[in-house]
Chain A
């Protein structure tokens, strides 16, 4: 029996606030949403549906920075239902102790949605169905984000075993000739999710406009994909939006994803670097060792880099 890795109950083991790569991702998403807001998409009127778990970091940020007030958090782990309710960050957040698959079909067709299925598990038959449901339900203008764990889905496995896993779970959507080498697993996930989205969206009169394809790791390597369902009108506005200029945007899931790398820096180094940003390609600080890759990585993320101090609010 191959050993399928148990989904991590990450919310119980990791302080969500302290995952810096994830935080950079959230800040980039907010940056993009903010720009979309300026370019004619009324993001503050969107309904946010997310999986806030017990920390609700995404909820806090989306409310405070984007002024979204119509929010619902879905949690299917009944064992933490009271913790979830207890930690609800604002009065207007509605809590659903339910599977996201049961909430999606009931999302209003009169609203625009921001739906983030922020799984801590691997892509599976179940998550693929959730994505299909979202693509079947969300109105044009709505934004879908999906996060999955892209580590090998079977511990002590090998490419053959991983292939079997994907064939069994989402065989339909796996492109022929896909390599299941460990280094290619993020690509396998991207291709599958992209196929799920396009096949589920095709029968509707809307298109999916890709915007995000992030890879990052705080512990496990994670992938977030996202974009907007667009009809002609939204597509036109999207093509004119300045959001497309942002370096983290990916309008083609075939492209290399945006890898979020958070270099380890001391506070003093960070302050120094910040004063030199944005820097030219190939620039390196003279006063201490830091290779070009790290500088480049820092240049990509410094605007979104969370600052942690002892104080924890």
Chain B
């Protein structure tokens, strides 16, 4: 006789397992993603064109008018408020609080898996209140997580009470506020640690380096987050490696760029060197120097001589599920077919820079390669300037005369040893370099004759 085994989900599983490996930074980024996706739904912001090229860079005054996302926390409460357009009632009823999206749902370009918001709420505290208003209406969802978790018998227990409230009149006022209280111990501890704010600034500034101050402002505890600069360089003597490819019948577009870094205070920064991977313009991997992006497998092992390397890999798609990000969106799924194929091309695009840097630092210290001059003349550039450039191979204007047929040989020797040779040669008038030269020639003639 056939029996049916119970395979029902349990709330405890979602509350404990889904949040387990998540950091507070991951949660905050997930919440910000939700706000940015609201811009996509309500203001038609398209995050997929590479580098958002057509998006003007607003002037200082206009920046203040951009939609904003405010993250504020104390050790009692965590709050994220935006005026990015809000959540429609219908989406709230059917999509926003369910675990995973329904097949046809077009929620945005950063939300992929339909777990980010829930995961973040559960991770941060035991009580939350989500309030959202659009011009079409508003709602409030409020939940005491512990009480909710206790009722886990029937499908109806898997619902969250919503209350409809009036909407707003103007688009600009539409937005979402999330208040989380009864913070979890883990989160309280992070908040007490005063490094959290800096960590959030870095995580947000890195992740949204391309969007920030162009389509949205983000503040943490009232302070503006500054976008990270990806220090790409530019020089008339250098053409960057640049390639566009498409996968999955054009559903995923990839733009690869490899170029020399701009110097920061006269130096290449090892912290900034490496590959940057972006999915729909969200940075998911920054300055990567690991095998994931090909170092030590098709590229050489990373070494300080490659501090001048900057690689950018933009993955763009209308269907974010096709992009190679991990579930936290702070890493790349190295096994994804799209990424593995792209990595093949990344190696090829990177090659010219690698060789340039190899030649720039020859094993022979006394050479002055032409690459040094070129590197010294590199000026900082805008990554956006790449958006419209055609494909190219990395090249640099090599001077034909760059190769000198001689190298300078120079070393320290003990005075007594030089003296011994001098006596042996019976050339008391010869200086040390003359003596060194004669020993060199002697070796050449006797040990390595033509």
Contact = CB atoms under 8 A, between A and B. Distances in A.
Nearest to B405: A79
B403 A132 contact: no
Interface residues of A, number: 21
Interface residues of B, number: 21
A17 interface: no
Interface of A: 78-79, 99, 101-102, 104-106, 125-126, 129, 132-133, 136-137, 172, 199-200, 202-204
Interface of B: 296-301, 337, 340-341, 343-345, 347-349, 351-352, 355, 393, 403, 405
B393 A106 contact: yes
Given A106-B393, A132-B297, A203 B341 contact: yes
A210 to B, nearest CB: 20
B352 A204 contact: no
5 tightest A-B CB contacts, nearest first: A203-B340, A132-B298, A105-B348, A136-B344, A105-B351
B218 to A, nearest CB: 36
Nearest to B301: A125
Contacts, number: 48
A45 B327 CA distance: 48
Given A129-B298, A132-B298, A133-B298, A105 B393 contact: yes
Nearest to A199: B297
A99 B301 CA distance: 18
Nearest to A125: B300
B352 A102 contact: yes
Nearest to A202: B340
B248 to A, nearest CB: 13
B355 A200 contact: no
Contacts of A106: 393
Contacts of A129: 298-300
A204 B337 CA distance: 9
Contact of A102 (B343, B347, B351): B351
A99 B341 CA distance: 25
A292 to B, nearest CB: 43
A203 B355 contact: no
A199 B299 CA distance: 14
A136 B355 contact: no
B341 A133 contact: no
Most buried by B among A105, A129, A132: A105
A99 to B, nearest CB: 6
A126 B354 CA distance: 12
Nearest to A135: B344
Nearest to B338: A203
Given A102-B352, A172-B296, A136 B341 contact: no
Contacts of A200: 298, 344
Contacts of B299: 129
Given A105-B393, A203-B343, 7 more contacts: A79-B405, A101-B351, A102-B355, A104-B351, A200-B298, A203-B341, A204-B344
